[in-house]
Amino acid sequence: MNTTNSLKKSVTFFEALAIVVGMIIGSGIFLKPGIVLNNAGTPWMSILAWGIGGIITLASALSVAEIAAAIPKSGGLYTYLGELYGGVFGYLLGWVQAVISYPASVAALAIAFATYSGYFLPLNGWQQKLLAVSILAFILIMNVIATKFGGIIQTVATVGKLIPVAGIVGVGLFSNLAPGFGGMETSAAGAGFGVAVLGTLWAYDGWISVTNMAGEIKDPAKTLPKVISIGVIFVIAVYVLFNVAVFKALPYDQIISSPTPGADAAEALFGSGGGAFITAGIIVSVFGALNGYLMTAARVPQAMGENNQIPFSRVLRSVHPKFQTPANALIFQSVLAVIYIFSGTFNTLTDLLVFVLWIFFTMGVFGVFILRKRMPLEKGRYRVPLYPVTPIIGVAGGIYILASTIISDPLRSLVGIGITLAGLPVYYVLSRQKR
């Protein structure tokens, strides 16, 4: 392996766009409508919640896009925080992402793929885990051989996952199976509009991971702002239209009581084959998200290795001499994911770190203010529209998520902070070695 950062500029505009869309749209779009509707209280308020969640996400995305244009380096938010706030903040995010968050998310998605596959081929617990490892191994091999293969998989999977969504939207919008909106209220008493918005924000998560690939995207300073903006706007439209279609296809009480309202809507619209149609769509959707997470996850330990901020930095920063991919970092993330698959700890770990990740994410959005003070705007470089209103909206959304998380689960939030700070001894040891 050679130890220079010679990753190929092989990720095209459409592949980067597929990463954004494919990592946001997972299984949540098929499962969340009932939860958001229950908390919002009425169909129109539910649609409004999806819209407001989308606006907060878009404001954050547009703000981070300016940072990505000014600092078009691999590593994404890890790199931005290090540049804007100091090395220790970037390191703490990188530590959490590389060792716990990303591989645990990869493990969760691999298990989800195997679980949904059980709809067509019944599997026991061990068979599900073996299938999860097998699909992860396939995606690993494709991404090691060429980033281009990972990009192609992402593009195909993103198009594939949109087929059932487009089917439900296209048919559902013109159906009259269920009562019209008409301001009807649900019979269930939800937690309120604020909680409904919070639920949509989780469903919009994932877009920022494309910035991890900046070093491999062609003309990242121009491409990243475009794909982030277009991708998030597209997903907002998809989410709103999908929910409208579900509301027109099903009675409201059924949407709330069902754990799989997307599948129920498909069955109502397309008959008994609708459930299989949606399940196949979820499988493709999860597959695309799994590929996107592994592809982007590896770029964090690879970037940390270049800064000597992770044990075995020389190995993890290496680029494969033939394939020009971060093969060691990809393998590192996959091995950790397999450990989490067999230990069954992936959901616990991701839940514990949600609060911490949103601290760093909010810092990233706020970073555009720091960027404006430190780096004069160059002519022609992307700048966030409606500054400073846009980043203020993004920061406010982040603070809302953090406050809601603390109120709902203060102990888990503290444990997440403890796990994050546990990485500090490693940081100081490695810093001393560098000196």
- What's the pLDDT band for 178 if we cut at 50, 70, 90? low
- What's the pLDDT band for 149 if we cut at 50, 70, 90? confident
- What's the pLDDT band for 335 if we cut at 50, 70, 90? very high
pLDDT number for residue 2: 39
pTM of the model: 0.86
Q: Mean pLDDT in the chain?
A: 87
Which of 336, 280, 287 has its CA nearest to residue 109?
A: 287
Domains and their CATH numbers in the chain: 13-183+191-433 (1.20.1740.10)
Contacts 24+ apart (CB under 8 A), 319-323: 319/1, 319/2, 319/3, 319/4, 319/5, 319/6, 319/7, 320/1, 320/144, 321/1, 321/2, 323/144, 323/145, 323/146
* 388 pLDDT higher than 90: yes
Total residues belonging to the chain: 435
- Give tens-digit pLDDT for 8-56: 677 889 989 998 998 888 767 777 788 888 888 888 899 999 999 999 9
pLDDT number for residue 233: 94
- Give tens-digit pLDDT for 401-414: 898 888 888 898 89
Least confident residue range of 81-90, 273-282, 326-335: 273-282
- The H or E element containing residue 61 is helix 43-70
Least confident residue range of 107-111, 205-209, 244-248, 301-305: 205-209
- Over range 112-140, report the average pLDDT: 91
